[in-house]
Amino acid sequence: MNKFLKKAMPILLILCLALAGCGSQTAAAGSTSAPAAAEKTLWEQIQEKGVITVGNSPDYEPYEYEDGKGNVIGFDIELLGLICDELGIKYELANMSFDNIITAVQSGQTNIGMSGFSITPERAEQVDFTTPYLSSAQAVVVNADSPIKTLSDLKGKKITAGMGTTGEAAAKENVEGADVIGLENYAAAFMQLKNQGCDAAVADLPVAQKYAAKDGFVILADYLSVEENAIVVAKGNDDLLAAINGAIEKLQAAGKIDELKAKWMPVAE
């Protein structure tokens, strides 16, 4: 290679790089490609699919329970069907333990949670709640021959409730010295009571009334707390929340929810 070429090579290289850079800038400036489409919201995805997945724990008669034929029925399930009719979609239940539902909703494993959820400040920090669809209370249930007659008699007693439920929390907060045991489902909680394995069980009033009617339990006159039930939605899904709220409010105005209460909870006042 001669001296001239040796000297010219660095200059030529710089010129080529500069021209390449200009070409790239010109191409970018003249680009007409469309921006990426905005990601669809969860509600838009549900509408497109036509199905909403619902976290549910079917062990809470009359809210939701299995009928012995492989079907999940109850107040929540029938109301869910009416809500979906209003929204023009269908639903699929994802059966799981109650204490796992909020996590499933947060992670996207299910779109919503509906399983007799009571609204609490602690839960409201984790998820959003729809318009309440039912008022209830946490009732204390004892055996017919129990010496426990009032809430004060529960001091230091063994109490069962559903794990992660407001019944469990209310017993821990409102009963001094109680040994509160959270069980995976309410069937186990009331079985413990029936077999004298605990002194009392705590559940939503409609549930307490169902078990009392079946097994001869007695419900204490005073309640541990009064609450409202609502559907759980992951935070940030305002359009989904608004759609469900609109359906609930329409059903309330038409008297449909009162009809379901009369059908599934005739003694729960």
Q: What is the CATH number of domain 136-227?
A: 3.40.190.10
Same fold, 42-133+230-264 and 136-227: yes
Q: Which residue has the tokens 């489409």?
A: 37
Using 50 as the pLDDT threshold, list the residues of the chain that sit under it. Answer: 1-34, 269
60-82: pLDDT as tens digits? 999 999 999 999 999 999 999 99
Neighbour count for residue 145 (Cβ, 10 Å): 8
Tell me the C-alpha distance between 137 and 221, whole Å. Answer: 11
Quick one: how far is CA 232 from the chain centroid? 4
Tell me the C-alpha distance between 199 and 46, whole Å. Answer: 45
Spell out the domain ranges in the chain: 42-133+230-264, 136-227
- Write down the pLDDT at residue 184: 86
187-227: pLDDT as tens digits? 899 999 999 999 999 999 999 999 999 999 999 999 999 99
CATH class of 42-133+230-264: alpha beta
- Write down the pLDDT at residue 24: 41
Q: Which residues pair with 160 in a beta bridge?
A: 181, 201
Tell me the C-alpha distance between 113 and 232, whole Å. Answer: 5
Report the alpha-carbon angle 175-206-153, nearest 5.
Answer: 25
- Buried b vs exposed e over 81-102: b needs ≥16 C-beta within 10 Å? ebbbebbebebebeebbbebbb
